[in-house]
Chains A and B, each alone.
Chain A
Amino acid sequence: MLAACVWLAACSGGRDRVTEGDATGVLHFGNGTEPQGIDPHAVTGIPEWHILGTLFEGLVTLDPVTLDPVPGMADKWEVSEDGLTYRFHIREDAKWSDGRPLTAEDFHWSWWRALQPALGNEYSYMLFPLKNAEAYLTGKITDFDQVGVHVIDPHTLQVELNAPTPYFLQLMAHHSTFPVPRHVIEKFGVPTDKFTKWTRVGNFVGNGPFKLVGWKLNKFLRVERNPAYWDAAHVRLNAIVFYPTENSVTEERMFRSGQLHRTEEVPIDKIPGWRDNHPDQIRLNVYEGTYYYMINVKRPGLSDVRVRKALNMAIDRKTLTETVLKGVQVPAYAMTPPGTIGYEPPKLFDFDPEGARKLLAEAGYPDGKGMPPIELLYNTLESHRKIAVALQQMWKKNLNIDVAMVNQEWKVFLNTRQNKDFTLARQGWIGDYVDPNTFMDLWITDGGNNNTNWSNKEFDDLILRRIPAMKTRAERLAGFYKAETILMEEVPVIPIYTYVTKHLVRSSVKGMPPNLLDYYAFKDIYLEPEK
């Protein structure tokens, strides 16, 4: 046995994927999980988003530093004075990876498909800023010509919106709005059938800087440079290999042994070690996401805003993030992460046990006496448990309130939360685009993700009517500030921390700047062998 080990070890020496990749221009990318698929209208996850960013391109792409829209399939566009009409000029040399020209008609058809009710496209709401798109998906109208997308000529696409939507161009860089190849999809079945084989290697056609060349389930997905891409000369990598790396401990080990250029995660316990020994290879960056607890405001005790405020003020977020979270995450005092297109959310409270006790006493529960029972619900995961335990102790120590912890398996948890059968429940929200709206429109009355029973007329009015009508960025941000002030004064939600992305990246990887969305412009990435 031992002899066999030694012999095999002798043969395995000297093969390091990363070094080989540096020399041949192949990026080895740890991608979290096996992609659900690569049909842009059938998937929702982050790993899929990465892969689709190499295989397709939308009307625009994003600058990886500023996240501003830059030309993609459209080489230029005009916006009407009122911000309601966009005219996109599709570039003359736009082609599918099989060489077929890509036109405005392709976008029109793709959005028609994305909005087909029968398709069951979970990301269809990304097209809802389009005039009548929501009405079409929900079956209120059946004539697609009434939806705000029109082909003027093969290279001109006109889009009409419900309201001026400053983040609309950002949505055009998201995979839910990408063009899909009608000529291929229809060859393998009907457009609304997700179960055809059009996305298989050999059948698949895209329009991005890379094309699909290999896909082995649970092993890897490989893309290579697409010569038919309009900007092919600019693409610097020869290939990218995406690995499903579910287990972050294994992933970290793969990185250490030179099998990956980049990891999707870093186990939180390993972060201090990397920070001390290889600060050049660990990347921690603020992410467009918030971790929080929802409060069911209909529950006894919690229907009193003073109690909700007291719970909020009794949490020492600084200690929590520094100890339990190893100083990786950032304490949050509002829903919207700071720095979202220059927006700074209001900070209405701080850790204040004295003030919290006073509020609790005013509400009729001095020193926690007579407080109805509170349960803290989270899904079974060690990291959630640690946070719940810390909160439980802080509330006991600072308010003398006993909070029971309840954990449920993920899908059971989602079900309970959706049915509003909780007093406090954990949630994490990742923004779909960089704009406070993606964190604010959550909380409108009876919104699909607002499970708190909280409702405020002025807040609804701001989010649904007044802010969409505002013209300038400054005016909008002031509007959001006002809305978020209402939210944080009424406290249907207890923000805990702002997410931070955690990646290990080899120093040979260049052209991969950090940004709030953790967005990658794959065509800009290149490899420079380490010295």
Chain B
Amino acid sequence: MSRFIWMRLLQAIPVLLAVITFTFFLIRFAPGGPFDQEKAVIPEVKRALEAQYHLDQPLLVQYGTYLKDLAHGDLGPSFKYPGRSVNELIASGLPATMELGLYALLIAVVLGMAAGLMAALYPNTWRDYLPMSAAMTGICMPMLLLGPLLVLVFGIWLEWVPVSGWGDVPGDKILPSLTLGSAYAAYVARLTRGGVLEVMSQDYIRTARAKGLPERVVIFKHALRGGLIPVVAYLGPAFAGLLSGSFVVETVFQIPGLGRFFVQAAFNRDYTMILGTTTFLAALIIIFNLLSDVLAAWLNPRVRGALEGKA
């Protein structure tokens, strides 16, 4: 098992390097630079600014310097916020984004699994159609619409929860988590339904029932465990997606997270910030994919056996 993990981590290095290289050169070929703005900058000043960020050196030298600094864990200074390092900016945004992602994931798993299970246990009845059409709506509804809609109903009409902020007032974390989590909950619901339905027709379920096990045990111990494998495989990329895709929710709800930096960096041509956040998120995606693979392996006896046999 540990050999499997080590191999995967080693494979991650060339992937990360490719991401960094591709991003580094791609953003440099985009027209417009970090110091372009509505009022033209005096040429001497622009040259000085470029020198401060070593943009006056050949591109390959800059690339080499960047990789060298990166190996020391230094993501460089930000262009947009002089005096701040990219490390510092990521560190400042990460806690809120992580927390938001975690709550959203929790909502996605709890709501999604409950709905999916109910649908799978009563296929083709209203208890199937209702959660599944809700899930379809959830998948289709963009966060940009869902967020303000939830705010309108629960924040402004009913006045149950605050309309913006993060950790300022009790309850202000509810709406953003719900907004971000709902689309993922919908996917989880569909995956759970599909997975459980498939498992329910397997021989071992029939065996379990034939043994006279109570239906509760059949469902929660046997059916759910097998039926959840696709869900677990989805959770890794989903969490990475939650972290990198929280931009809309962070903007709508005024949350000091990483997503806002990530998107604005591209608009600002903040080269180091784009590279830093991209690299960081790529690393996160690799790690979470690995984690979900390990978890899925643990849930699936066949794969687990194969892995342990190797180790």
- What is A's interface to B at a CB cutoff of 8 Å? 1, 4-6, 8-9, 11-12, 15, 34, 36-37, 39, 42-44, 117-122, 124-125, 137-139, 194-197, 199, 216-219, 243, 245-247, 249-250, 253-254, 256-257, 259, 409-416, 418, 427-429, 448-449
| Contact of B11 with A by CB under 8 A | no
CB-contacts of B145-170 with A (<8 A): 148, 151, 154-156, 159-166, 169-170
Q: CB distance A448 to B40 under 8 Å? A: yes
**Interface-facing stretch out of B78-86, B221-229, B298-306:** B78-86
Known contacts A12-B162, A122-B42, A410-B267; can you find 7 more A-B pairs with CB under 8 A?
A: A11-B170, A42-B82, A217-B84, A253-B151, A254-B163, A259-B164, A418-B36
User: Nearest Cβ in chain A — how far from B260, in angstroms?
Assistant: 6
- Give bound CA distance, A125 to B44, whole Å: 11
Closest chain A residue, CB of each to CB of B147: A250
Given A12-B162, A246-B260, A250-B254, decide whether A427 and B83 contact each other with a Cβ distance below 8 A: no
Q: CB distance A120 to B171 under 8 Å? A: no
| Contact of B37 with A by CB under 8 A | yes
Can you name 26 A-B residue pairings with CB atoms under 8 Å? A1-B111, A12-B171, A12-B172, A36-B80, A36-B81, A37-B83, A119-B48, A137-B42, A194-B82, A195-B83, A196-B83, A197-B83, A216-B256, A217-B89, A217-B256, A218-B257, A247-B254, A249-B252, A254-B163, A256-B156, A411-B33, A411-B268, A415-B33, A418-B36, A418-B40, A448-B41
- Give bound CA distance, A409 to B264, whole Å: 13
- What is B's interface to A at a CB cutoff of 8 Å? 30-33, 35-42, 44-46, 48-49, 51-52, 77, 80-84, 89, 92-93, 111, 148, 151, 154-156, 159-166, 169-172, 174, 251-254, 256-257, 260-261, 267-269
User: Nearest Cβ in chain B — how far from A198, in angstroms?
Assistant: 8
5 closest A-B pairs by CB: A411-B32, A8-B171, A218-B256, A120-B48, A448-B40
User: Which of A137, A246, A253 sits near B44, CB closer than 8 Å?
Assistant: A137
Residues of B within 8 A of A8 (CB): 160-161, 170-171, 174
Given A42-B83, A411-B33, decide whether A194 and B254 contact each other with a Cβ distance below 8 A: no
Closest chain B residue, CB of each to CB of A218: B256
- Give bound CA distance, A412 to B45, whole Å: 21
Q: CB distance B171 to A11 under 8 Å? A: yes
Q: CB distance A250 to B170 under 8 Å? A: no
Q: CB distance B171 to A9 under 8 Å? A: yes
- Give bound CA distance, A415 to B31, whole Å: 7
Closest chain B residue, CB of each to CB of A124: B45
Residues of A within 8 A of B155 (CB): 253, 257
Given A119-B48, A216-B256, A246-B251, decide whether A9 and B82 contact each other with a Cβ distance below 8 A: no
Q: CB distance A217 to B92 under 8 Å? A: yes
User: Nearest Cβ in chain A — how far from B277, in angstroms?
Assistant: 14
- Give bound CA distance, A326 to B81, whole Å: 35
Residues of B within 8 A of A412 (CB): 30-32
Given A246-B251, A247-B254, decide whether A449 and B39 contact each other with a Cβ distance below 8 A: yes
Closest chain A residue, CB of each to CB of B77: A195
User: Which of B32, B92, B154, B261 sits near A414, CB closer than 8 Å?
Assistant: B32
Residue from the set A118, A124, A199, A218 with the largest chain B CB neighbour count within 10 Å: A218
Residues of A within 8 A of B161 (CB): 5, 8-9, 12
Q: CB distance A414 to B52 under 8 Å? A: no
Q: CB distance A410 to B32 under 8 Å? A: yes
Q: CB distance A247 to B252 under 8 Å? A: yes
User: Which of A122, A250, A411 sits near B41, CB closer than 8 Å?
Assistant: A122
User: Nearest Cβ in chain A — how far from B184, in angstroms?
Assistant: 15
User: Nearest Cβ in chain B — how far from A340, in angstroms?
Assistant: 18
Given A119-B48, A219-B256, A415-B31, decide whether A36 and B82 contact each other with a Cβ distance below 8 A: yes
Closest chain B residue, CB of each to CB of A119: B48
Closest chain B residue, CB of each to CB of A428: B38
- Give bound CA distance, A197 to B269, whole Å: 24
Residue from the set A36, A194, A254 with the largest chain B CB neighbour count within 10 Å: A36
Residues of A within 8 A of B40 (CB): 418, 448-449
Residues of A within 8 A of B81 (CB): 34, 36-37
- Give bound CA distance, A389 to B37, whole Å: 24
User: Which of B37, B48, B84, B164 sits near A44, CB closer than 8 Å?
Assistant: B37
Closest chain B residue, CB of each to CB of A412: B31
Residues of B within 8 A of A125 (CB): 42
Q: CB distance B45 to A120 under 8 Å? A: yes
User: Which of B36, B38, B52, B163 sits near A415, CB closer than 8 Å?
Assistant: B36
Q: CB distance A247 to B251 under 8 Å? A: yes
Q: CB distance A253 to B36 under 8 Å? A: no
- Give bound CA distance, A283 to B82, whole Å: 33
Q: CB distance B42 to A5 under 8 Å? A: no
Residue from the set B30, B40, B41 with the largest chain A CB neighbour count within 10 Å: B40
Given A12-B171, A36-B81, A247-B251, decide whether A427 and B164 contact each other with a Cβ distance below 8 A: no
Residues of B within 8 A of A246 (CB): 251, 260
Closest chain A residue, CB of each to CB of B52: A120
- Give bound CA distance, A139 to B256, whole Å: 42
User: Which of B45, B84, B160, B269 sits near A9, CB closer than 8 Å?
Assistant: B160
- Give bound CA distance, A302 to B253, whole Å: 47
Q: CB distance B256 to A9 under 8 Å? A: no
- Give bound CA distance, A139 to B42, whole Å: 13
- Give bound CA distance, A428 to B49, whole Å: 24
User: Which of B42, B83, B151 sits near A124, CB closer than 8 Å?
Assistant: B42
User: Nearest Cβ in chain A — how far from B28, in angstroms?
Assistant: 13
Residues of A within 8 A of B92 (CB): 216-218
- Give bound CA distance, A36 to B38, whole Å: 16
User: Which of A197, A259, A427 sits near B165, CB closer than 8 Å?
Assistant: A259
Q: CB distance A5 to B164 under 8 Å? A: no
- Give bound CA distance, A142 to B148, whole Å: 57
- Give bound CA distance, A163 to B237, whole Å: 65
Residues of A within 8 A of B164 (CB): 250, 253-254, 257, 259
User: Nearest Cβ in chain A — how far from B306, in angstroms?
Assistant: 40
Closest chain A residue, CB of each to CB of B38: A428
- Give bound CA distance, A1 to B48, whole Å: 56
Q: CB distance A6 to B44 under 8 Å? A: no
User: Nearest Cβ in chain B — how far from A287, in angstroms?
Assistant: 15
Closest chain B residue, CB of each to CB of A13: B159
User: Which of B44, B93, B156, B165 sits near A139, CB closer than 8 Å?
Assistant: B44
Residues of B within 8 A of A124 (CB): 42, 45
User: Nearest Cβ in chain B — how far from A491, in angstroms?
Assistant: 22
Residues of B within 8 A of A219 (CB): 166, 256
User: Which of A249, A253, A411 sits near B269, CB closer than 8 Å?
Assistant: A411
